[in-house]
Amino acid sequence: MTRHFVTIDQLSDDRLSLIYDLATSPFDDETMKGQGVALIFEWPSLRTRAASSSAVHELGGYATFFGDDEIGLDSRESAEDVGRTIAEMYAIAALRVRRHGVFARMREATSDRLSLINLLSDVAHPTQAVADVLTIADEFTEGDVSALSGLEVAYVGDATNVARSLAVALLRLGVNVTVGSPEGYQLTPGGEEDPSVVDGPGTLRLCDSAYDAVKDANVVYTDAWVSMGCEEETATRRAELTAFQVNEALMGVAKKDAILMHCLPAHRGDEITHEVLDSERSRVWRQVFHRRSAMIGVLRWIKGDS
């Protein structure tokens, strides 16, 4: 059975638990010996591309990068035909796509014989969520992902693809998640990777105040105000999200030992200030470190390395 990693919500608790274990346990560097992974990026990337390439390499395989300007997903050629072509030469494709629906279309077009990994879509960023869970576990439970229940995580700002995958992953582990966003930027119910339909054990709370969201939180998390593809809305977004900047005053409302997280790239002066991002509370570089751990976990799981 071909394995896919497209959203957190498509994976059972057991499978997720296995992926967290495989991300940090010793591995055989011949797990993917001689095997290729196609990396397809419709948007720019630093961390995700670096993490994917190095994880494949560490497992003994090789990665081939395809940029949007080369393959033109749905412009030069349909996503279906790109999938069919890749499936003739690779067993795994990892994609960063503008439209989440590409994953279902490629699965159908390839009769489910190409494993797909979501490296960010407009709906979800699940490999980031795995890295974030590992980072939070390092901080609060000595790396034990199964012991995170009861923590309070506040997500502030635009409730993006990153927020959706993070919330689904944390709620499934019993972490309580509060999302503080203004009207128009809050989580919307429906579709895939929807935290509002996660049946606990964590509790999801939505509010329209950054201060209410962050009060007594163990973790404060934010993401860009202007996600890729929203550049034309930059001025409006800056104006409407100003009160949701993560700065020293806001961090002062969180628990005394609260940590600060951001998926990066950060936009200093917009969603986050220099002071906070570079402070002792910041765990953003640990998150980056775990981006590769997460990819190793996902690739090992797809290869059946358990």
Q: Is 132 in the site for ligand NVA (CB under 6 A)?
A: no
Say how far apart CA 25 and CA 180 lie, in whole Å.
Answer: 35
Nearest approach, Cβ of residue 171 and ligand NVA (Å): 19
Nearest approach, Cβ of residue 52 and ligand NVA (Å): 13
Q: Is 223 in the site for ligand NVA (CB under 6 A)?
A: yes
For the residues of 6-50, what is the DSSP string, one character each? S-STTS-HHHHHHHHHHHHS---TTTTTT-EEEEEESS--SHHHH
Three-state secondary-structure class, residue 249: helix
Please, which residue, 47 or 255, has the CB nearer to ligand CP?
47
Q: Is 19 in the site for ligand CP (CB under 6 A)?
A: no
Nearest approach, Cβ of residue 157 and ligand CP (Å): 15
Nearest approach, Cβ of residue 193 and ligand NVA (Å): 13
Sheet holding 115-118, edge to edge: 62-67, 36-41, 92-96, 115-118
Stretch that binds ligand NVA, among 52-60, 108-116, 219-227, 271-279 (CB under 6 A): 219-227
**Residue 213, token pair as written in the block:** 């969201």
Distance of CA 262 to the CA centre of its chain: 11
Using Cβ positions, the residue closest to ligand CP within the complex turns out to be: 48
**Residue 229, token pair as written in the block:** 């593809």
Q: Is 93 in the site for ligand NVA (CB under 6 A)?
A: no
Say how far apart CA 118 and CA 104 lie, in whole Å.
Answer: 11
Using Cβ positions, the residue closest to ligand NVA within the complex turns out to be: 227
Question: By the 8 A CB rule, do 101 and 208 touch?
Answer: no
267's contact among ligand CP, ligand NVA, none, with CB below 5 to 8 A by partner kind, is none
CB-based burial label for 84 (10 Å; 0-12, 13-18, 19+):
middle
Omega before 201 cis (within 30°)? yes
Interface pattern 24-63 for ligand CP (x via CB under 6 A): ---------------------xxxx---------------
Q: What is the number of residues in the chain?
A: 306
Q: Is 161 in the site for ligand NVA (CB under 6 A)?
A: yes
Q: Is 264 in the site for ligand CP (CB under 6 A)?
A: yes
Interface pattern 96-135 for ligand CP (x via CB under 6 A): ------------------------x-------x-------
Among 18, 206, 228, 288, interactor with ligand NVA by CB under 6 A: 228
Please, which residue, 121 or 218, has the CB nearer to ligand CP?
121
Say how far apart CA 246 and CA 278 lie, in whole Å.
Answer: 12
Nearest approach, Cβ of residue 203 and ligand NVA (Å): 24
The torsion angles phi and psi of 4, rounded to 5 degrees, stand at: -125, 150
Residue numbers of the site for ligand CP (CB under 6 A)? 45-48, 120, 128, 263-265
Residue numbers of the site for ligand NVA (CB under 6 A)? 120, 160-162, 223-224, 227-228, 263
